[in-house]
Amino acid sequence: MREALAQARLALATDDVPVGAVVVGPGGEVVGRGHNEREATGDPTAHAEVLALRDAARTLGRWRLDDCTLVVTLEPCAMCAGATVLARVPRLVLGAWDPKAGATGSVHDLVRDRRLNHRVEVVGGVLEAACAALLLDFFAAQRDAPTEQGDASAADGAAGVTGAPGARALPGPLTRAGDPPPFP
Ligand SMILES: [Zn+2]
């Protein structure tokens, strides 16, 4: 997660929302890295997770990352949760939960949908305070900057990031009787 945090900080150079991700390979080595480059590249799909998964696939020479772990500083959105499933990643480690847009347990749970034949183990809240602080500081600075237009939609996205250590956005309504506990 510290590597993912280092990636997240790289996004600040281009005024991108500081989210970072790494893919850890079967030997425990980092095989893919990415940080949010939406502003840097003008690409709406240039999220940290997608870029890290692509980087890992390039490194390993295969799209199937079924022996890898995706580590990301913020709970993935629907697109990135989908990409995680498509890459057959078996394990996701995330920092801060995103109760407003998270798709791996908060708003949606696309990685543990019973209708899919691939499911992902989710470990949440790792270095949560540090991951959330980076985002909250970023949005606070954006709000305070008098000359900047600000990105209201992006600010909305992280307004609900859980910053308090130990805080959890438990997806109560998504847990059905008989389901395993939402988070290990
Ligand atoms: Zn995403």
Could you read off the pLDDT tens digit of each residue along the chain, which spans 184 residues? 999 999 999 999 999 999 999 999 999 999 999 999 999 999 999 999 999 999 999 999 999 999 999 999 999 999 999 999 999 999 999 999 999 999 999 999 999 988 888 899 999 999 999 999 999 999 999 888 866 554 544 444 454 565 544 444 444 333 334 444 444 3
Q: Which strand ranges, in their side-by-side order, compose the sheet holding 30-35?
A: 30-35, 20-24, 69-74, 91-96, 121-123
Per-residue confidence (pLDDT) for residue 153, from 0 to 100 = 47
Give me the residues near ligand 1 (ion), CB cutoff below 5 Å: 47, 77, 79-80
- Residues in a beta bridge with 96: 74
Residue 49 known to be catalytic: yes
Per-residue confidence (pLDDT) for residue 145, from 0 to 100 = 80
Per-residue confidence (pLDDT) for residue 90, from 0 to 100 = 97
Distance between Cα 141 and ligand 1 center (Å): 22
CB of 40 closer than 8 Å to CB of 46: yes
Distance between Cα 166 and ligand 1 center (Å): 23
Catalytic residue, chosen from 49, 75, 121, 148, is 49
